[in-house]
Structure 1
Amino acid sequence: MNNKQSIRMTIVYDNNAFDKRLKPHWGFSCLVRGLEKSILFDTGGKGKILLSNMRMLGIPLEAIDLVVLSHIHRDHTGGLDALLKENPRIEVWLPVFFPSSLKKAVIKRGTNLMEVDKFQKICEGAYTTGVIQGWINEQSLILDTTKGLIVVTGCAHPRIIKIISKARELLEKDIYLVLGGFHLLGFPKNEIEEIIETFRAEGVKKVGPCHCSGGEARSLFAEEYKDDFLDIGAGKEIEIL
């Protein structure tokens, strides 16, 4: 657990802009700082937008130590090549099932590649769930903080409840915050409400649905969680003391 300093999370890429200086675009990317290593979780859909948003936020590209990619969809991996072109020293953690063409492109940049299958420690205070099976297989990021676990999801294709249950099981701790794509766009209202009830039953204290979560899901989570709902968009910063 990170006991020495606060954890700072910055949403770099999302289809909504919290900071109106930034360009919104379909996709997701979240930067985590304050741990042993700085981690960029997913890289959005377009490298030009990713790099522009990072520069607008004053984030130096050389300060990123690791990239963790949740799954193969381009709205989460599209910015990777542009990022590695600027900083090939970044280490890339991606699911083992990614195509060999992408892996070769990463290695060609001179970048260290870590292929993920099972749950493992990334650095002090950060873990990958390992590949969780679903209609699209995916890994999520777990941060172990003084307030509880933070689970960051890309698109939650294996289903968001399955992911948060897995995170609790793996680290045997309560969940403080779940943030990212919940993949609830187009879901019936009653199903979303059942998912929110399960979040409460699982003891999730704060939520930040974005990207593919859908407007109705965001509204229903906001109604239930009130002050513990985080309005997520590109440029949003969250500090965990």
Structure 2
Amino acid sequence: MKITALIENISKGGLLNEHGLCVHIAYEGKNYLLDTGASDLFIKNAEALNINLEEVDAGILSHAHRDHSGGYEAFFKYNQKAKVYLRKESREQYYIKKLCIKKYIGIPDDILIKYPKRFTYVTGDYRIDKGVSLIAHKTNDMEKRGKAMNMFRKVDGHFQLDDFSHEQSLVFEAEKGLVILNSCSHGGIENIIKEVKESYPNREILAVIGGFHLMGLLGTSTMRLSEGEVRKLGKDLLDSGVKNIYTCHCTGNKAFALLKEELGDRLHYFQTGDCLEF
């Protein structure tokens, strides 16, 4: 199993970067693409890394935000076969409130209508292939997290607090345990780990990969939680028993530094161009 970051907020080796996330996964002879970042930059990085996007067998949209879905139109020009799996709630529109203004942050306008045959909507826990599954949120009161993040969804013309029902975890069954990918973990990475354990009782979790949505609205040096809350999250992750934790994107530099103090060698940053093998 080989996991490569095709686009992330920072990069190395001359690769491009942007605020977004796109991850390529090679597993058991097949290729998967998690998200596309905010634009087509991931395609240029894939070429530089000798990853052929025409060979992607399935795409997965982690959640219905633009910085993860902005490159699908470009992807569909390169790849004619891959279905993209997303939650049925991704049809709704998603917003963030800044001051008194609700700003649209959802999937690019009309892409779901323009390419209806490329998208497959799923509910509950859903198996894509042998050893590859999508895990839905099972945690109650997710609206509280939507309120704390000032995030909303527009349903039948009315705004509601985001309950992150459009978010899903991608889980691979590796030889030494489960590998979880959740691009932003709006539902809480600690909750996501519990949800996966519920779906896979008595299975060890080898790795968790993704953003933890701890960054504040003013950039990577800010946090939306207090220092004490971030440190508690670090302790919870330590207690979870997850052996390898790779975070990126919306975690933020300040929160990462605090988590690193709590988690030590278990925590790593996953940037554009990084490649993990399990």
Fold agreement, TM-score > 0.5: yes
Distance in 2 separating the partners of 1:152 and 1:31: 11
Distance in 2 separating the partners of 1:153 and 1:91: 19
Establish whether residue 183 from structure 1 lines up as the match of residue 213 from structure 2: yes
Establish whether residue 139 from structure 1 lines up as the match of residue 148 from structure 2: no
Relative to total residues, which structure has the larger strand share, 1 or 2? 2
Establish whether residue 81 from structure 1 lines up as the match of residue 73 from structure 2: yes
The alignment partner of 1:38 has SS state of: strand
More displaced, 118-127 or 128-137? Answer: 128-137
2:115 corresponds to which of 86, 103, 106: 106
The alignment partner of 1:127 has SS state of: strand
Distance in 2 separating the partners of 1:217 and 1:150: 23
Could you tell me how far 1:132 is from its partner in structure 2?
5.5
2:234 is matched by which residue type in structure 1?
A: I
Query: Which has the larger Rg?
Result: 2
Distance in 1 separating the partners of 2:59 and 2:251: 23
Establish whether residue 70 from structure 1 lines up as the match of residue 99 from structure 2: no
Distance in 1 separating the partners of 2:9 and 2:233: 23
Aligned to 2:123: 117
For structure 2, the 5+ residue unaligned runs are: 93-109, 147-161, 216-222
2:135 corresponds to which of 126, 129, 139: 129
Could you tell me how far 1:224 is from its partner in structure 2?
3.2
1:223 corresponds to which of 253, 257, 261: 261
Could you tell me how far 1:146 is from its partner in structure 2?
1.5
The alignment partner of 2:136 has SS state of: coil
1:96 is matched by which residue type in structure 2?
A: K
Distance in 2 separating the partners of 1:191 and 1:16: 25
Q: What fraction of aligned residue pairs are identical, expressed as a percent?
A: 29
2:89 corresponds to which of 89, 97, 114: 97
CA contact (8 A) 1:37 1:123 kept: no
Could you tell me how far 1:226 is from its partner in structure 2?
3.0
CA contact (8 A) 2:190 2:236 kept: yes
Q: How many residues align?
A: 229
Aligned to 2:218: none
Aligned to 2:22: 29
Establish whether residue 161 from structure 1 lines up as the match of residue 194 from structure 2: no
Distance in 2 separating the partners of 1:87 and 1:195: 39
CA contact (8 A) 2:235 2:263 kept: no
Distance in 2 separating the partners of 1:89 and 1:96: 21
TM-score by length of 1: 0.89
Could you tell me how far 1:131 is from its partner in structure 2?
4.9
CA RMSD after TM alignment: 1.7
Aligned to 1:3: none
Distance in 2 separating the partners of 1:78 and 1:215: 24
CA contact (8 A) 1:35 1:124 kept: no
1:23 is matched by which residue type in structure 2?
A: L
2:85 is matched by which residue type in structure 1?
A: W
Could you tell me how far 1:86 is from its partner in structure 2?
1.6
Q: Deviations over 1:111-144 (max 9, x none)?
A: 3x32121102111121101256732411111111
CA contact (8 A) 1:127 1:141 kept: yes
Could you tell me how far 1:222 is from its partner in structure 2?
2.5
Distance in 2 separating the partners of 1:192 and 1:35: 36
The alignment partner of 1:200 has SS state of: helix
CA contact (8 A) 2:231 2:262 kept: no
Distance in 1 separating the partners of 2:28 and 2:68: 22
Distance in 1 separating the partners of 2:243 and 2:31: 25
Distance in 1 separating the partners of 2:28 and 2:115: 24
TM-score by length of 2: 0.78
Q: Deviations over 1:52-100 (max 9, x none)?
A: 1111111111111111001111000001110012212111101101228
For structure 1, the 5+ residue unaligned runs are: 1-6
CA contact (8 A) 2:137 2:192 kept: no
